[in-house]
């Protein structure tokens, strides 16, 4: 477990990382040699006191916390609170080029399964050999086509095949 406090000092980013196990192998050097960021690794148990000290600085007017903030942290913040996606969360939302290509490839593989399913269904209807199908059997058939695609690990959630108004 860990927490981080990000603040600016003289226009430079300062990152205070509070780790449960301070013995983790982390470098205190930025991975970007051109970076002006400063990283301090601190003991996890000092985090709440660090929040109090940081919030009580005169130049702090607003504190940015994530939506899933721990109540112990929330209650010690005496300044105006901005709740929103944090810079770390925003960075996680961005996909790197490898992830972007992986998503494109996954969509293509899923399109193959959907087209195969639709073509088979169309051919069965045209030939009059349409089997008695339910939404569940159709969803299972589609899942089986998806399962044939390379890298498929199964569905993350069941197919939503029905509509109710």
The Cα 29–Cα 11 span in angstroms is 18
> Can you give the pLDDT of all 165 residues of the chain as single tens digits?
788 888 887 888 888 888 877 555 555 555 555 565 678 888 889 999 999 999 988 888 888 888 888 899 989 998 888 888 877 778 888 899 999 999 999 999 999 999 999 999 899 889 988 776 788 888 888 999 999 999 988 888 777 766 666
DSSP string spanning 47-62?
HHHHHHHHHTSTT--E
| H/E run at residue 78 | none
The runs of H, that is alpha helices, within 23-152 are 47-55, 71-76, 87-93, 97-127, 135-147
Torsion sign across C-alpha atoms 121, 127, 133, 137: negative
Residues in the chain: 165
Q: Which residues pair with 67 in a beta bridge?
A: none
**What pTM, to 2 d.p., does this model score?**
0.51
Give the single-character DSSP code of 45.
G
Domain map (residue ranges) of the chain:
2-93, 97-147
Which H/E stretch holds residue 12? strand 12-19
The answer to whether residues 4 and 88 touch, using CB atoms and an 8 Å cutoff, is yes
């Amino acid at each position: 477990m860990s927490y981080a406090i990000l603040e600016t000092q003289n226009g430079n980013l300062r990152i205070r990382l509070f780790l449960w196990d301070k013995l983790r192998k982390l470098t205190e050097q930025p991975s970007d040699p051109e970076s002006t960021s400063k990283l301090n690794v601190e003991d996890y148990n000092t985090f709440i006191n660090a929040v109090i000290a940081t919030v009580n600085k005169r130049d702090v007017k607003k504190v940015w916390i994530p939506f899933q903030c721990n109540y112990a942290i929330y209650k010690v913040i005496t300044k105006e609170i901005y709740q929103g996606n944090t810079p770390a969360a925003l960075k996680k939302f961005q996909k790197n080029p490898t992830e972007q290509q992986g998503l494109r490839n996954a969509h293509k593989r899923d399109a193959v399964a959907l087209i195969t399913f639709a073509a088979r269904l169309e051919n069965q209807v045209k030939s009059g050999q349409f089997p008695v199908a339910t939404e569940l059997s159709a969803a299972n058939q589609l899942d089986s086509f998806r399962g044939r695609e390379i890298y498929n690990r199964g569905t993350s959630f069941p197919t939503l095949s029905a509509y109710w108004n």
